[in-house]
Chain A
Amino acid sequence: GENVEQHPSTLSVQEGDSAVIKCTYSDSASNYFPWYKQELGKRPQLIIDIRSNVGEKKDQRIAVTLNKTAKHFSLHITETQPEDSAVYFCAASRGARQLTFGSGTQLTVLP
């Protein structure tokens, strides 16, 4: 089955700096890669996703890049703000259904 590894497990950045979280996956047939944000005590919520036919996708301050050859994808958050502090999960799947999640990254944005 699919295996997703996520790094780093914790990340602290100064407000206004950029944050990068990286994930690798094992199943070359995976074609859907979402990122979820989970605030403390809340449910995970989708913030951005990318399909395997696209190399990069942006939505305001967040972007995701995908390297199919190397089987890794990354989340980039620019101009970080305190409200970006949360746990971020990457995931991978075939056909956007049975998601396999990474272990999560606790992002802390320092004032």
Chain B
Amino acid sequence: NAGVTQTPKFQVLKTGQSMTLQCAQDMNHEYMSWYRQDPGMGLRLIHYSVGAGITDQGEVPNGYNVSRSTTEDFPLRLLSAAPSQTSVYFCASSYGPEAFFGQGTRLTVV
């Protein structure tokens, strides 16, 4: 039981490049979400999904897309990376009240 797995752990992108952050969970959780963590700002919700085929925007969705084709996977796509998207990204899943976080992806956009 691996829990929530994120890949990659580190990534450097050039401005304008696109990429996908992967998130997979093996706990059969319906609810999954993506947060970004910036110094002094806590974790801010980007997008979330309440089940396969259903996604919605969080607090800071601009510049990001998500899809949920299976219960297990919830990838986050950066369409055209900008320096403002330099951050640590956490994926989380939950069934009940407790959110289980992945180990994070540290993204730097230069």
Contact = CB atoms under 8 A, between A and B. Distances in A.
Contacts, number: 50
Interface stretch (B17-25, B66-74, B77-85, B91-99): B91-99
A44 to B, nearest CB: 5
Interface residues of B, number: 23
B12 to A, nearest CB: 18
A43 B45 contact: no
20 contacts: A1-B59, A4-B42, A6-B42, A32-B97, A43-B90, A43-B103, A44-B101, A45-B101, A89-B42, A89-B43, A96-B96, A96-B97, A97-B31, A97-B48, A97-B94, A98-B33, A98-B48, A99-B99, A101-B35, A102-B42
Interface of A: 1, 4, 6, 9, 32, 34, 42-46, 49, 89, 96-104
